[in-house]
Each structure stands twice: as structure tokens, then as C-alpha cells.
Amino acid sequence: MGKIAYSRNLAKLKSYASRGAEEAAVVSAMLDNIRVMEFTQDTEGDTAANTIRISAQLKDMDGSNIAAVVDVLVKSVPPSGAGTMTAGAVGTAVAGSGSTEAWFQTDANGALDVDVLNAAAEDNLVQFQLDDGVVEIVKLTFA
């Protein structure tokens, strides 16, 4: 189901909840607390040699940006074992910068940049885990 369908269903639930449907109010409240990250990535070498920047934005189920500082555990899983990460232009590396597993924080707008370095020509999975347990995976291809 696409984002538009989720948004329509969420709008319907909110409408029911505003009219007093208790079950809809409970489901609506649960959906309001679900957070996801939306990702974009640059082309290898745009930021630095052998580096791909992943930009992430915290979103709610309606697809609206969430402005909040959130802890994010990020793991880089390159087959060669050589893909390290550092903080990009947005967000902060709290611990583990320069390794394959690091703790980052989004900025106050819920945004985060992570630079992934990998000199090998291979695919590289990067796992983002939010502080509430939501996991997102991005696949990078290094040439």
C-alpha cells in the first residue's frame, strides 16, 4: 500500500475518532506515534572519493516532517568489512564515528546526513534503527 493510501486511511480514522468511535481513536493514536525515515542519497564521489551521503528525514504516517532530535543507531554492512561512516552536514555523531556501527542524532528538524565510505566495488547495506525500534535499510552500490 502506498503513502497516499496510508494517508487516506489515516485521515478516515481521524475522522471516525473525532466523531467518538473509540476503536478508531485508539488506532488513530497508535498510527500518530509511528515514525519512519525517508532517504535520499547522492552519487558516489559527490561528497568525497569513495563516499555516498545518505540524507534522512524523520516523517510521520502522513508523510509530514517531524521536528525532533532522535537517536539513531546506524550499521554499515559491507561484504569486504571496510565500509565506515561519519556524520555529514546535518545531525551529530554521538559515538562510533569512523566505524561500521555508530550512534547518531538527528538535528532539531529530524534530519540526518551519514557519509558512508567504501573503497571496494560492492553493494553495501546500511541499517538505520530509530530509538523506538523502527528499522529501515538502504542499499548503496559502490563502483
CA distance 70 to 66: 10
Q: What is the pLDDT of residues 100-135, one digit of tens each?
A: 999 999 999 999 999 999 989 999 999 999 988 889
Residue 1 pLDDT exceeds 50: no
CATH class of the structural domain 35-141: mainly beta
Q: Where are the domains of the chain?
A: 1-33, 35-141
